[in-house]
Structure 1
Amino acid sequence: MLIHSAGQLLTLAGGVQRGKALGNLGIIEDGALLIRSEQIVDVGKTADLLAKYPAEPRLDAQGKVVMPGFVDPHTHLVFAGDRAAEFEMRLQGKTYLEILQAGGGILSTVRATRAASVDELVQQAAERAKIMLKHGTTTLEAKSGYGLEWQSELRQMEALLRLDSQGILEIHPTFLAAHAIPEEYHDFPSQYVEQICEVMLPELRRWWIRNADARPLPFVDVFCERGAFTLPQSRRILETARELGFPLKIHADEFENLGGVRMALELGAISVDHLVKTSPEEIALLGNSQTVAVSLPCTPFGLAEAEYTPARAILDANGILALASDFNPGTAWCGNMQFVIALACRYLKLTPAQAIAAATINAAAAIRQEKRIGSLEVGKQADILILSVEDYRHLGYRFGVNLVEHVIKRGKVVL
């Protein structure tokens, strides 16, 4: 298929964009691209490609924006139930940590998820995935973390593999048994850490090799935060995961700076996520690393917090900045990356171009997929959006509406 007559073809060519280089969209005006066998095989001006490939089936972009599909590198897609009652509690003045300590928060979702079958988890998550696809997300990372015991965590991992095989969108799983201390280990958190390290992670590796059709091992993540896992506990889990060959991620500095970013960089984490309270010293370290800083602006927005990721400081330090939704039932039930971009423009002080790059090529780097997706270049997978507008700056400028008109996944029009 030859997609032609794009008013602005945003290629984002050239690889991951760090520091002040963020925002290079690689725009080709009146652009076109050719897809064959799920891949992009040519990119250029419309007149050139129409002349070069006269017999190809065509899709006329009618002067609108054509760009890569969004990559969402931090979601909690698989869970059961909801937490609408807790939203009301927060409006009445209760904090996130107060709700968690009272047995709500993550633990509330844990109880509902433990009671759900794999089929139920797949069905509920598939409906959420369809909405995300409709708004332009073509690839996402998704975590377990609402079981907090082996069989429940395993059901979530199985659900993620089944969802990926359905082809609604492409899913890269993460194992997050270290999301919270379960109620039964409330007084013995160190024993739960040992359970993760000595039982869950080795068993996960064996199960994955048997069931995941030669896919690379999933990410392992930990919520390093007051009320969740301490810095020493987080290190123990991540070091064990690294020894077993798992790539690493971390939730860090959402509410307090515990040193999680520094530790994650020492361990070679692929990404460090949240980063609201990250220190200037750790921001400088990020700028000298290949680890991606993932900002989740829907989360402070959902919590009505005033502080967001210090994105400008990260860019000034030459860091690699990505955006994600943090889709989850407690603080950010929003999988719309267009809204994430709108928040990033307002609260992270990014330009639309910077936010788009952070939500595509840099987001792909946060899940180690930047060589396959995230830009429109020859040899890459054909994951493409056609917007309903002629200027990319409408992303960020407008919010509360869906600007995606066509979604193309692996070279096929799916919406």
Structure 2
Amino acid sequence: MKDTLLIKNIGELVTCSGFTSKKGSEMKELHTSHNVSILIEKGIIKEIINSPQPKVISEKDIEVIDAMGGSVLPGFVDSHTHFIFSGYREEEFYLRFQGTSYMDIMKAGGGIANSVNKTRAASKEELVQLGQKRLDDMLSMGITTLEGKSGYGLDLDTEMCQLEAMKTLNEAHAVDIVSTFLGAHALPKEYSGRKKEYIDFIIHKVLPVVKDRNLAEFCDVFCEKNVFEIEESRYLLEEAKKLGFKLKLHADEIVAIGGTELACDLGAVSADHLLQASDKGIKALANSSTIATLLPCTAFSLKEDYARGREMIDSGCAVALATDFNPGSCFTHSIPLLIALACYNMNLSLEEVITALTINGAAALNREKHIGSIDVNKEADLIILKYPSYKFLLYNLGMNVVSKVIKRGILVKTN
């Protein structure tokens, strides 16, 4: 394998250049260059050359990829997924489709509890095999970095098993995995009526093990009415922060209880879902460094109103987009579907969507200084499209237009 890579004949180079998240009107400011090349050394972008066919000393000493006039963008960053799980919930999907609410399904023993039972029964090897196939599919969509959450164990052993499966995959797979501990995803049946005891169990028995084994960078909580409410979420996250975890929140998805404001108050890296975020919450996001991570495929799957992404951007927030791939409320990791929903149903421009899926997705994972844009000295995580313009991401509606995927300067996928 050669240390130097040249990507030549780039018809269009597209990026939201920079090393920080983009807020408000900055999100629509894409930088485009035409008929250029990229020189990469040891996985790092070394130079953007103003020529489609630059002279090199010898192509024998470097690997060359011909973009054939295609558009080149940063690799997509999927900053919210639950991709390690066992079992499926197709029957619940049809119940929801026929009008049964998500919360009613949970009360009847379905929902997260269903996935917990199936994941507890799976071995680490089975979870790794399932995760491998899902990562392969996600890579073909142009996803080069993603976040993976635990939360389908709700006990020590299975939570560790999920996180260890992600660690194994991160070491072996081209896609980078940023792990999040989500033990507070639901209250397990064995702790029914004892929520405070379960939170204390997480704080005193589970989080120290996660930290000691270096299995997760973030701690998350499903902050929701009748799940883990504001003060319960605050207590858990403050203790996690003391242990050195960065914070995330599932916030204001079903009922507006102030989860968005809590995320900003705690300095969380991101607040996710936000379908019911209040005006006060949006203002707090705009005045903070917390990324608003929106999940339009979930709203679509649940037949719910979308988060107010247009208002958030117009108010000065930094918005990221992610798939929320999981076995229940959003069984899809389709980037083409996400792009279409964000543009058509959330009224975001394609330029804002690209920013949300690249530099802002990276910022939602605390990776914006290393990935998420095509800049000299950043990691060479790139996608080459089949077409000469990024506009085909929306124009070729619902279709995957990614031709090649490059991770740290290595061609890892050709479609």
- What is the TM-score of this pair, normalised by structure 2? 0.95
| Distance (whole Å) between structure 1 residues aligned to residue 176 and residue 32 of structure 2 | 26
Uncovered stretches (5+) of structure 1, i.e. residues with no partner: none
| Distance (whole Å) between structure 2 residues aligned to residue 43 and residue 223 of structure 1 | 43
1:91-140 deviation per Cα after TM superposition (whole angstroms, max 9, x unaligned): 22210000001110000000000011100111111111100001110100
User: How far did residue 339 of structure 1 move?
Assistant: 2.0
AA in 1 matched with 2:248: K
Corresponding position of 2:358? 360
AA in 1 matched with 2:238: E
Corresponding position of 1:7? 11
Give secondary structure in 1 for the equivalent of 2:55: helix
Matches within 5 A, 1:256-271: 256-271=255-270
Corresponding position of 2:97? 91
Matches within 5 A, 1:378-393: 378-393=376-391
Matched, 1:23 2:28: yes
AA in 2 matched with 1:21: E
Conserved 8 A contact 2:340-2:398? no
Question: Which of 408, 411, 414 is the equivalent residue of 1:410?
Answer: 408
Conserved 8 A contact 2:174-2:407? no
Matched, 1:176 2:187: no
User: How far did residue 74 of structure 1 move?
Assistant: 0.2
User: How far did residue 54 of structure 1 move?
Assistant: 6.0
User: How far did residue 327 of structure 1 move?
Assistant: 0.4
Corresponding position of 1:329? 327
1:167-200 deviation per Cα after TM superposition (whole angstroms, max 9, x unaligned): 2310000000000011111221221111111211
Corresponding position of 2:252? 253
Matched, 1:295 2:294: yes
Conserved 8 A contact 1:389-1:403? yes
| Distance (whole Å) between structure 2 residues aligned to residue 398 and residue 221 of structure 1 | 36
Corresponding position of 1:82? 88
User: How far did residue 44 of structure 1 move?
Assistant: 3.1
AA in 2 matched with 1:355: V
Corresponding position of 1:144? 150
Structure 1 residues 27, 53: closer, same or farther in 2, change over 3 A?
farther
Matches within 5 A, 1:4-403: 4-15=8-19, 16-47=21-52, 50-51=54-55, 55=59, 56-208=62-214, 218-305=217-304, 307-403=305-401
1:376-399 deviation per Cα after TM superposition (whole angstroms, max 9, x unaligned): 111111111011111111112333
Give secondary structure in 2 for the equivalent of 1:177: strand
Total equivalences in the alignment: 406
Give secondary structure in 1 for the equivalent of 2:186: coil
User: How far did residue 23 of structure 1 move?
Assistant: 2.0
Conserved 8 A contact 2:9-2:67? yes
AA in 1 matched with 2:267: G
AA in 2 matched with 1:110: V
| Distance (whole Å) between structure 1 residues aligned to residue 348 and residue 355 of structure 2 | 10
Conserved 8 A contact 1:28-1:44? no
1:264-308 deviation per Cα after TM superposition (whole angstroms, max 9, x unaligned): 111110000001110111101110111100000010111122x11
Give secondary structure in 2 for the equivalent of 1:284: helix
Uncovered stretches (5+) of structure 2, i.e. residues with no partner: none
Structure 1 residues 396, 184: closer, same or farther in 2, change over 3 A?
same
| Distance (whole Å) between structure 2 residues aligned to residue 309 and residue 338 of structure 1 | 19
Conserved 8 A contact 1:343-1:396? no
Conserved 8 A contact 1:121-1:159? yes
Give secondary structure in 2 for the equivalent of 1:41: strand
Q: Which moved more, 1:346-355 or 1:110-119?
A: 346-355
RMSD: 1.3
Q: Which moved more, 1:195-204 or 1:240-249?
A: 195-204
1:23-64 deviation per Cα after TM superposition (whole angstroms, max 9, x unaligned): 2221011121111101110013225x7036664442221111
- What is the TM-score of this pair, normalised by structure 1? 0.95
Give secondary structure in 2 for the equivalent of 1:248: strand
Give secondary structure in 1 for the equivalent of 2:226: coil
Conserved 8 A contact 1:101-1:227? no
Conserved 8 A contact 1:339-1:396? no
1:351-405 deviation per Cα after TM superposition (whole angstroms, max 9, x unaligned): 1111011000110000000011111111111111011111111112333321011
Give secondary structure in 2 for the equivalent of 1:51: coil
| Distance (whole Å) between structure 2 residues aligned to residue 222 and residue 285 of structure 1 | 19
Give secondary structure in 1 for the equivalent of 2:246: coil
Conserved 8 A contact 1:97-1:227? no
AA in 1 matched with 2:312: I
| Distance (whole Å) between structure 2 residues aligned to residue 143 and residue 53 of structure 1 | 46
| Distance (whole Å) between structure 2 residues aligned to residue 54 and residue 351 of structure 1 | 42
Conserved 8 A contact 2:150-2:181? yes
